[in-house]
Structure 1
Amino acid sequence: MTTPKVGVIGLGNMGGRITRRIVEAGTPVLGYDPVPHRAAGAGASGAGSVREVTEHADHLLLSLPDSTVIERVVLGDDGLLAHCRAGQIVVDLSTAAPSSTVRLHTALAERGVELLDAGISGGAAAAEKGTLTLMVGGAATALDAVRPTLEPFSDTVVHLGGSGTGHTAKVLNNFLNAVSLAATAEVMVAGRKAGLDLHRLLDVLNAGSGVNFATLNRFPHIVDGDYLEGGLTGTLMMKDVALYADLLHELGVPTLNVSGPLASFGLANSLGYADQISNRVVDAIGDVAGGVRLHEAGEGGES
């Protein structure tokens, strides 16, 4: 059986790490990114265009910032739709608007190409370890065919149903991620100002009902000054929260809890943290709380 040729479009924080996992597993990758050096950094051969990757790949992975960019890559004059061929499988690992995903699925299906929307969870650390969770929408047969390409960077792959269901689950997941990060950041700044030992506070939270992904995986590092650089930026976090608000509007569900993360990450972005990892929201809250930093001697606390 011939090994499928793999291409990746988008070699940033996540796409680059995913590509390296595939290459290290023994599968060559042809990659394209507007920043040329990223292909070499991820261990891939560099392509000069979306068209070149499209014409090369049997399995084509997308890791892009948002639906606007995805649509440009797929529908552009020299894009994926113009140069695809029947039998290809496209896996969109981005966080995208489900309604856009369904439209692109229909357009590609007319050319005999399967589009799987595969939202990912776990962050940069899980990508590097190959332990990402994938939430997949689209044809089950296409998912079965592409599983060997997904295995080097994922250890949990859940098929949720038809086109758009994977990206829907991803938007819902990312909203909870935003809520837990923003709320925990606020709590930790308050703990610092109240004079609590932050390591002990985390021990209590993680043994109690306040436990969440941020208390377990983010703040044990942040309180020691490690912000886990390389993950989702403040700008992208705001984009994800806005996607959630749009999705719930389409579904007719009230967005009663969206104001908190919108305010928190809006504050962070307005204070200059937009292009930094979204974990820096804790510094933004600390700024307006009197210059508090979790990992330094601060007002009301010790380092």
Structure 2
Amino acid sequence: MSELKIGFIGLGNMGGRMATCITAAGIDVLAFDPIAENVTAAGARPAPSAAAVTEASDIILLSLPKSTVVEAVMLGADGVLSRLGKGQIVVDLSTSAPDSTRMIAEKVEAAGATYLDAGISGGAAAAEKGQLVLMVGGPETDLERARPTLELFSAKIFHTGASGAGHTTKLINNFLNAITLSATAEAMVAGKKAGLDLEVLLDVINNSSGVSFASLNRFPKIIKGDYLKGGLTNSLMMKDVVAYVDLIGALGMASPNSAGPLASFGLANALGYADEISNTVVDAIGDVSGGVRLFENVPNDGNHSKKEES
């Protein structure tokens, strides 16, 4: 492992887990998050600002909610860009719009530094185990410099192309994730209403043509009442699908398959599940299908938003 100084900005749901993987390896991390407890919980040293992290680091890792936040942190007054110098590497682990990524990368390059866009996949469980999959856009030589750090929280790292390619790959992957999750949720509600044994139904699906990541890894736990809390929320899933649709529009192509996840996660957000893990989309579909719950001990007494207000 090199002696590059590591900085981290944004230690929320995913960032905190990734930072913890680094500090657990005995490596010092200087970090900033608006919630100071997130920094100490990850075993990192607190910095007073993103600018302070930038000044003291060779590699600056970002894990932020969306492009507008990334732009504010990177380009805002006293932001990361204002403190970047020659040879530094910024790795954006957020799910960002490729156009925004390329715009920031040009500004970072003009400052003599490098901007790598690194989409991540695997969710909270993989982040905790250091088993994420990374899809990285930007100069490959700089990826190799950053690789020893990135390998502390990832199992596989793919160089996907020039700047923006990593985030483009992430949006495409997340779109498929959204489709299979929402479609499998609907299928499970249908199976429940039809009186099928859901364990048998899943066994059939997982040994047949309907198999997916959702059916293999999510629903065997969901049907037992474990929603795998801590992963991507319904609001963030919706944000990613909308970003994918924006990408498709910019590419000048049709997206007939985006209607399903837009409707499903839009429903979940409307019914009050916005800040809950996206796996609860199955409950939103269940709510409008007669109050169905896959697991008997999970409440099914009507609309979730009404329950929250009671």
Corresponding residue for residue 243 of structure 1: 243
Matched residue type, 2:71: E
SS in 2 for 1:65: coil
8 Å CA contact retained: 2:2, 2:148 = no
Question: Which residue is 1:35 aligned to?
Answer: 35
Deviations 1:223-265 (A, max 9, x none): 1111111110111001000000000000011011111100000
Question: Which residue does 2:145 correspond to in 1?
Answer: 145
Residue in structure 1 matched with residue 308 of structure 2 by the alignment: none
The CA deviation at 1:158 is: 0.5
State the Cα distance separating 1:125 from its structure 2 match: 0.7
SS, match of residue 157 in structure 2: strand
TM-score scaled by structure 2? 0.95
Counterpart in 2 of 1:281? 281
Question: Deviation at 1:177?
Answer: 0.3
Q: Which position in structure 1 is the counterpart of 2:306?
A: none
**How far is 1:42 from its partner?**
1.1
Cα distance, 1:38 vs structure 2: 0.4
- 1:258 and 2:258 correspond: yes
Instruction: Please tell me the residue identity of whatever aligns with 2:269.
Output: N
**Is structure 2 residue 54 aligned with structure 1 residue 54?**
yes
CA deviation map 1:84-122 (0-9, x unaligned): 111100100110100000000000000011000010011
In the TM superposition, 1:108-123 aligns within 5 A as 108-123=108-123
Q: Does 1:170 align with 2:170?
A: yes
* 1:2 CA drift (Å): 5.9
Flag as ranges the 4+ runs of structure 1 deviating above 3 A: none
Partners of 1:47 and 1:264 lie apart in 2 by: 40
Change (3 A) 1:195 1:297: farther
SS in 2 for 1:119: strand
State the shift of 1:133 in Å: 0.6
Q: Which residue of 2 aligns with 1:91?
A: 91
1:164 partner amino acid: G
Shift of 1:132: 0.6
CA 1:222–1:2 in structure 2 vs 1: closer, same or farther (change >3 Å)?
A: closer
Matches of 2:101 and 2:145 in 1, distance apart? 20
For 2:12, the equivalent position in structure 1 comes to 12
Q: 2: CA distance between counterparts of 1:109 and 1:128?
A: 32
Structure 2 Cα separation of the partners of residues 81 and 253 of structure 1 = 34
CA RMSD of aligned residues (A): 1.2
Aligned-residue offset at 1:136: 0.5
DSSP-derived class of the 2:14 partner: helix
Aligned mates of 1:45, 1:220 — CA distance in 2: 39
> What are the ranges of 5 or more consecutive residues in structure 2 without an aligned counterpart?
301-310
Q: TM (normalized to structure 1)? A: 0.97
Listed one character per residue, the Cα deviations across residues 123-181 of structure 1 (whole Å, up to 9, x for unaligned) are: 11111111111000000110000111011111110101100000000000000000000
Question: What secondary structure, in the 3-state scheme, does the structure 1 residue paired with 2:224 have?
Answer: coil
The offset of 1:297, in angstroms, is: 7.0
Distance in 2, Cα, partners of 1:123 & 1:297: 26
**Residue identity (%):** 62
> What is the rounded CA distance, in whole Å, between the counterparts of 2:98 and 2:297 in structure 1?
45
TM-superposition CA deviations, 1:44-79 (whole Å, max 9, x none): 111121111111111110000000000000000010
Residues 46 and 180 from structure 1, CA distance in 2 versus in 1: closer, same or farther, beyond 3 angstroms? same
2:95, 2:119 within 8 Å by CA — same for their partners in 1? yes
1:32 CA drift (Å) = 0.9
Measured after TM superposition, the shift of residue 21 of structure 1 is 0.3
Secondary structure of 2:7's partner? strand
- Partner SS state of residue 210, structure 1: coil
Partner of 2:200: 200
Alignment partners' CA distance in 2, 1:259 and 1:157: 31
- Please, which runs of 5 or more residues in structure 1 have no aligned partner? none
